[in-house]
Amino acid sequence: MGSTYSYETKAGKRWEARYRKPDGKTARKGGFHTKREATAYLATVEVSKLTGSYVAPSAGVATIETLGTDWLAAHQATVKASTFHSDESAWRIHVQPKWGSRKVGSIRHGEVVAWVAELAKAKSPTTVTRAHGVLAAILDTALRDRRISSNPARDVKLPRRQSATRSYLTHAQVELLAEGSKHPDFVRFLAYTGLRWGEATGLRVRHVDQTKRRLFIEENAVVVNGHVKVGTPKTHERRSVVYPSFLAPAIAEAAEDKKPGDLLWGDGTTHLRPGNAKSGWFVGAVRRAQDADPGFPRITPHDLRHTAASLAISAGANVKAVQRMLGHASAAMTLDRYSGLFADDLETVATALDDQRSEQLQR
């Protein structure tokens, strides 16, 4: 099991634990105030050796700065540009200044809890969650490398994100918005296909089958630091979407005289953007709609995706159809986000059952 030895310091007697590591080499750890503490430490070492969870004290000397830099380099190769940009910002602004100089083996769970609580006083739940996620991921790497025996950033209660209020436009409101827009056909396209902005602006002529009225989602264009980055959607987001026939003329016109590799929307070479949040063309269209209808909601381009889901559900689409249209990972995700809309749909189903039963029993 090992043995304990006492020694003298200026502060008084201290105890040292000596033991053999799994590789047979001798190790020691001092600084214990009592023999009981040193003996208890030896017991934990023996248990960790038996369970395969032993971590040498020297393994935890690497700093968060060192491991974080390595983690970021590996992380960049596995996530979308927009995700990496957000995570890198969280690292640079929140994680590195607080934890960069700390040795991974010295970080305690209580410290992480206190940091999250302090951060939550001034930052949004989304910011806190992302910063915590970066630290936890770095420590997960340290855990896998056997630098620490457990991750002190796990099992930390995070601030709850408030669900954003979604706005769903009616058919009439979509038309009002489109008519006051610089790009009316594109507005209608977003509101009736449910594509994300980056998916829609990333569409090329070759991604459209006008005969079958199908869109093939194979590219995603996102803006990172003011520059458009084109990537591929996640596996479950790669899909085909059928568009309604009333959009066919506008799509045909958008594709006219363009090569297969040209972008469908806009001039064929430049990805369409909504403009800035104060004076962009989309914001201008919303303001004009609000001038015409004081009850028109303040919306973002992403609300047109929610609108597409709402209009599809009200038209009788089931959850699997909506899931496929939106490119959600599962039907459960679709239900979670639009459960209220499906609840209204269930009322319609109940009414239809009443009518059908009455009709058949009266025959």
DSSP of 157-209? PPPPPPPPPP----HHHHHHHHHTSSSHHHHHHHHHH---HHHHHT-BGGGEE
Same domain membership, residue 69 and residue 206: no
Same domain membership, residue 325 and residue 199: yes
* DSSP string across 300-338: -TTHHHHHHHHHHHHTT--HHHHHHHHT-S-HHHHHHHH
Same domain membership, residue 138 and residue 76: yes
**Domain boundaries, position 122:** 64-144
* DSSP string across 266-297: TTSSS------TTTSHHHHHHHHHHHH-TT--
And the tokens for 157? Answer: 């209660």
Same domain membership, residue 36 and residue 100: no
8 A C-beta contact, residue 49 and residue 22: yes
Same domain membership, residue 191 and residue 131: no
Write out the chain's pLDDT in tens, 363 residues: 789 999 999 999 999 999 888 778 888 889 999 999 999 989 988 888 887 777 777 778 899 999 999 999 999 998 888 899 999 999 999 999 999 999 999 999 999 999 999 999 999 999 999 999 999 999 999 999 889 988 999 999 999 987 777 899 999 999 999 999 999 999 999 999 999 999 999 999 999 999 999 999 999 998 888 889 898 887 778 899 999 999 999 999 999 999 999 999 999 999 999 888 788 999 999 999 999 999 999 999 999 999 999 999 989 899 999 999 999 999 999 988 888 887 666 677 777 788 888 888 876
- Whether 356 is in a domain gets the answer no
What backbone phi and psi angles, to 5 degrees, belong to 31? 95, 5
Domain limit, last residue, from 144, 161, 195: 144
Number of domains the chain is built from: 3
Neighbours of 127 (CB within 10 A): 18
- Which element (helix H / strand E) includes 222? strand 220-224
pTM value > 0.75: no
Q: Which residues contact 103 (CB under 8 A, 6 or more apart)?
A: 60, 61, 62, 63
